[in-house]
Chains A and B, each alone.
Chain A
Amino acid sequence: MEVPILKQGLYLIASIQSALTDADLSQLREALIQRVGKFRARGVIVDVTALDVMDSFAVRTLRDIAHMARLRGAETVIVGIQPEVAFAMVQLGLTLKGVSTALDLEEGLAFLDRQAQDRVERTRGRIIRG
């Protein structure tokens, strides 16, 4: 099943609706990374609220998406991890190190807005200083 990717302002939102096969996950990764460039997106949100299991491949793919998107200039947030899934993940040692997470879509958007603002302020500072 293909995951729909929505464009919302400067952000891309991928909302996973059902359990995905490894091939679906790889396809999602490729589509997202490609579209980050196409839409000049500054942020990516992957919503996993609907997932009640997360295996090591899924976690690795999410981490890869975050790292690849960062190289293409977009910050990634994973939102909606269920409490049970979170608990299972840490017990398996799958902790998504270096990847931002947020409670739900709303929080994710707020997080990206804050990040964008920080970036603007940093840039402004640099310009003034220069």
Chain B
Amino acid sequence: MAARGKDPQSPAPLDPQAHTESTAALLRELVAHLRQNRTQLREEWARRITRAQLLTAMTEEEIFAEATSVYDNYVEALETGTFEALQAYARNLSERIIPRGVETHEVVGIVLLLRDVLARSLFAKYHEDFDKLNRILDAYEPAANRIANTVAVGFVQERERIIRQQQEAIRELSTPVLQVRERLLILPIIGVIDPQRARQLTEQLLRAIRTNRAKVVVIDITGVAAMDSNVANHLVQTVEASRLLGATVIVTGLSPEIAQTLVTIGVDLSEMATVGDLQGGIEEAERLLGYKVLPLEEVAPKA
């Protein structure tokens, strides 16, 4: 912001009541000014947004449409001094533009641009009367900063909400318990296992054992890149808990790295049945369940 001249006469108003009143009056004047020059200021703002290469994910018409409604909400917030409507609008706006890849710096950038555009217009209007300009800016700046703050916080909050929602969705997607044969479940685990996910995995598996009346479960960890002692112990616990429900667990797909780590850190895996790959695990499970898979040619002659 440009440097302001010192006010030689009154550095601070004596009566706070009078001060607030005059602030309100100044804001009213300001709002009237912004309403009057709405079209021109809005266009100037949209131009500056394009020039600064913000909101590149949106077309020029979209930017102009959004700029219009942001502008109106901005002026309204200045006029009423309440931020609830603006907050709701900011959240709504974020909801629409986040999926299109709009970044935090862009949103903060456009609000700050609007603040600058409006401040410039105030300079232009009051440059004759320096004292008035000073007081107008005194009224304008705190409100404008608060608006910028509200919009930025609204955007970030919305973003965080979306991230939380997606994390939840990923977590649910990431632990499918599948039935491949009657009484045989497989649980492919892919990606990093943290304690929370490990816990959720176990709970889901135990519930599935009960609802599917499973006797054998194959846990495939081919997709797990690394494992520490906590996760390994959790795996052992899962195997034990499954046994308490009457199901046998076969673990498959331990990578060479994981095998080495587990032996090096000394996790006791003696209770765990392990088979090299998923195919071997399913074959072993079928054997336990009394299935035998034969090619059709071998079955046909006997019949």
Query: Contact flags (1/0) for B133-153 with A, using CB distance below 8 Å?
Result: 000000000000000000000
Query: Contact flags (1/0) for A54-94 with B, using CB distance below 8 Å?
Result: 00000000000000000000000011011111110111000
Instruction: State whether the Cβ of A96 lies closer than 8 Å to any Cβ in chain B.
Output: yes
From A89, A91, A103, contact of B209 by CB (8 A): A103
A87 touches B206 (CB 8 A): yes
B244 touches A81 (CB 8 A): yes
Interface size, chain B (Cβ < 8 Å):
18
- The answer for the CA separation of A96 and B240 in the assembled complex, in Å, is 9
Dominant SS at the B interface? helix
- Residues on A with C-beta less than 8 A from B243 are 95, 101
From A91, A101, A111, contact of B245 by CB (8 A): A101
Instruction: State whether the Cβ of A107 lies closer than 8 Å to any Cβ in chain B.
Output: yes
Instruction: State whether the Cβ of B247 lies closer than 8 Å to any Cβ in chain A.
Output: yes
- The answer for the CA separation of A57 and B70 in the assembled complex, in Å, is 67
- The answer for the CA separation of A91 and B210 in the assembled complex, in Å, is 19
- The answer for the CA separation of A84 and B202 in the assembled complex, in Å, is 10
A95 touches B206 (CB 8 A): no
A96 touches B244 (CB 8 A): yes
Query: How near does chain B come to A62, taking the closest CB pair, in angstroms?
Result: 11
- Residues on B with C-beta less than 8 A from A10 are none
Query: Interface range on chain A: under 10, 10 to 19, 20 to 34, or 35 or more?
Result: 20 to 34
B237 touches A90 (CB 8 A): yes
- Residues on B with C-beta less than 8 A from A96 are 244
Residues of B246-301 contacting chain A, CB below 8 A: 246-247
- The answer for the CA separation of A101 and B247 in the assembled complex, in Å, is 8
| Nearest neighbor of A107 in chain B, beta-carbon distance | B246
Task: Given the known inter-chain contacts A79-B246, A101-B246, please indicate yes or no for A90 contacting B240, CB distance below 8 A.
Answer: yes
Instruction: State whether the Cβ of B213 lies closer than 8 Å to any Cβ in chain A.
Output: yes
A83 touches B209 (CB 8 A): yes
- Residues on A with C-beta less than 8 A from B202 are 87
B237 touches A101 (CB 8 A): no
- Residues on B with C-beta less than 8 A from A111 are 246
Most B CB contacts (10 A, CB to CB) among A79, A82, A101, A103 go to: A103
- The answer for the CA separation of A111 and B246 in the assembled complex, in Å, is 10
- The answer for the CA separation of A83 and B242 in the assembled complex, in Å, is 8
B210 touches A103 (CB 8 A): yes
Query: How near does chain B come to A68, taking the closest CB pair, in angstroms?
Result: 20
Residues of B25-58 contacting chain A, CB below 8 A: none
- Residues on A with C-beta less than 8 A from B210 are 82-83, 103
B237 touches A102 (CB 8 A): no
Query: How near does chain A come to B232, taking the closest CB pair, in angstroms?
Result: 14
- The answer for the CA separation of A101 and B210 in the assembled complex, in Å, is 13
- Measured CB to CB, the residues of B under 8 A from A are 202-203, 206-207, 209-210, 213, 215, 237-238, 240-247
- Measured CB to CB, the residues of A under 8 A from B are 78-79, 81-87, 89-91, 95-96, 101-104, 107, 111
Closest 8 CB pairs of A and B: A83-B206, A102-B246, A86-B244, A86-B241, A103-B246, A90-B237, A90-B240, A90-B241
A-B contact pairs, 15 of them (CB 8 A): A81-B244, A82-B210, A83-B207, A83-B210, A83-B245, A86-B206, A90-B238, A90-B240, A95-B240, A95-B243, A96-B244, A101-B243, A101-B244, A103-B209, A107-B215
